[in-house]
Structure 1
């Protein structure tokens, strides 16, 4: 089965949430059960950024003014499932501080997004929380941060999430401290390095896969626009189901992470020559600023010095002095 437009991290490792400022688990609730649905990232005290396809079936309850998840029944009709909540900064979904859990009262999908077709692009949405998140935020390339040069060895391009750790992975389950049953593809936050793939190669690989899987009719007219999308992942490590909407960052040990993309879609997970497709956040910085009121600040320093491993060949306190 293809992981299309629903893209834990496959081939990754357990992540330190401090290395992922503002990382979010978007969750639905039903009774005492909690279900991880998608990823996202807090980009201001009141707004999170995710993928539009993650919120297609969410509605705002007119009486309560809160977001509710609806799911299709056997006839394809949407039925109320339960309230939506947003949890920030969790290393494991079994331990989520109360002050990091928020209801949602507004969702703004990009006006160019076509429902049910993440592969056609504009796959972005903004989520407004009830309350304020006073913790670290994801710095957005082109709005509140500057991406480092992706071509130099010191830069890692990395994705994180609570999604599948294998393409046909099953749900992980457990009970949190309040006794609620929690279900997610991965209860732990995972991360994986996904090298960028140049646009021409990406287009060729996607076209080959569309033909190989017999998706020519379904994907008629689909193309990768490098101005709006990023291709990343050369096989072995990839985002997958449950990671959709989560952050793709470029980071250096010295300067910390800057979010350059949002997990959108892919054909399979971690398959050779099958890159993941991410929305390029810098291309949408104007729209994000208009909706959220975030003021551009490209020189915001990171909130902390990250603790993740340095790229191979770099030793603590040493730099190449040149030839």
Structure 2
């Protein structure tokens, strides 16, 4: 079709406007292997490609648990067997086991179809509270969980050979991963009612947005979205970063650890690289009466998924609002970024061009003014951070 003169300009304008209005929303459904011993919940996981996170549906992430620590701090964790939960070391370091209660089988924070008191805390012996290297801990439950509960399941641990772990990144850069948690919807912001989920991409350790933030790439990895807008935040610490593998199982690839602000452009989140610690996990949990399940998943290709597209032709005013959210990574619909540029930096960064204080992921509900990390207090707003 050939357009000339004013009619041509008008025609092109109308076409552009029409394309802006016809925003296509894509949702991806991950249907897991229902016969697998790990990495599959009762319901399939469906995630949208909108900017920011979104509420998860019930019985989708059956291994995700919320931790009540000393009736003050909130962290996340993952069920790896009936008797063991894995979380971040900075969430539980210095705490007594009896002060920690885990809640399983619910999307609501600090409620569940089952709750258990912790009987033993195992913090990685090399955990460094300044750099968040080896930020991993195991929690043994006083009483095993009932794994026949349809709302409760266990996640798979990765099985990756030592050569791969020592020479290359696993999972590979640009792998699609999903993080879930009950953390704040913005830095120092409000807590959601229900469990949130967000799709991210792993970022190469050599990328300029990642390399200044990590101290040891063998045990830490970066994940986020280029341009910002999607991230974990305070209260998400210890929660799972997951990959859907070619066997149609969810595999635990990371633990939410720390980061600069939340969803800031150029500042991805930092996660503990779980594959490096599988041997340590097995050594410390084999004395229990539960079985830890690993799955060999060396593929970094995209999983087989079911995709549904919905096209809307709503009014331009609605479309304009969506377009603004998309083009400005510092503003999102459900997980807005912090309203100010971050004035803090991670403790892992040794560059002299960055600020000297640390933001990681336990903090208070109020705006942190010093070292924070991605766990948070939900009942005592005046409680100071533990770091």
Report the TM-score range of the alignment, normalised by the length of the smaller protein: 0.5 to 0.7
- CA 1:57–1:297 in structure 2 vs 1: closer, same or farther (change >3 Å)? closer
**Bigger relative contact order, structure 1 or 2, given CA contacts below 8 A and separation 6+?**
1
Aligned counterparts, 1:102-141, within 5 A = 102-114=116-128, 116-117=129-130, 119-135=131-147, 136-141=153-158
Q: Contact 2:56/2:107 (CA < 8 Å) preserved in 1?
A: yes
Distance 2:119 2:110 in 1: 24
Aligned counterparts, 1:236-251, within 5 A = 236-251=229-244
Shift of 1:289: 0.3
Q: CA RMSD in A?
A: 3.0
Is 1:263 the counterpart of 2:277? The answer is no
Aligned counterparts, 1:183-198, within 5 A = 185-198=191-204
Q: Contact 2:184/2:234 (CA < 8 Å) preserved in 1?
A: yes
Q: TM-score, normalized by length of structure 1?
A: 0.65
Equivalent pairs counted in the alignment come to 234
- CA 1:254–1:12 in structure 2 vs 1: closer, same or farther (change >3 Å)? farther
Q: Contact 2:200/2:231 (CA < 8 Å) preserved in 1?
A: yes
Aligned counterparts, 1:1-323, within 5 A = 11-28=52-69, 30=71, 35=72, 37-60=74-97, 67-68=98-99, 84-93=100-109, 95-97=111-113, 100-114=114-128, 116-117=129-130, 119-135=131-147, 136-142=153-159, 156-170=176-190, 185-201=191-207, 204-206=208-210, 223-234=214-225, 235-251=228-244, 255-293=248-286, 297-299=293-295, 310-311=306-307
- CA 1:232–1:47 in structure 2 vs 1: closer, same or farther (change >3 Å)? same
Q: Contact 1:51/1:244 (CA < 8 Å) preserved in 2?
A: yes
After superposition, the C-alpha distances for 1:239-265 in whole angstroms (9 at most, x for unaligned) are 010000000000159703111111111
- CA 1:122–1:266 in structure 2 vs 1: closer, same or farther (change >3 Å)? same
Greater displacement, 252-261 / 42-51: 252-261
Q: Contact 2:66/2:104 (CA < 8 Å) preserved in 1?
A: yes
Q: Which runs of 4+ in 1 moved over 3 A?
A: 149-153, 294-301, 309-313
Shift of 1:139: 0.9
Q: Point out the structure with max Rg over C-alpha.
A: 2
Shift of 1:300: 8.8
Distance 1:94 1:227 in 2: 33
Greater strand fraction, Structure 1 or Structure 2: 1
Shift of 1:298: 3.9
Q: Give unpaired runs (5+ residues) of structure 2.
A: 1-50, 148-152, 161-169, 298-304, 310-387
Q: Contact 1:25/1:36 (CA < 8 Å) preserved in 2?
A: no
* 2:326 matched residue in structure 1: none
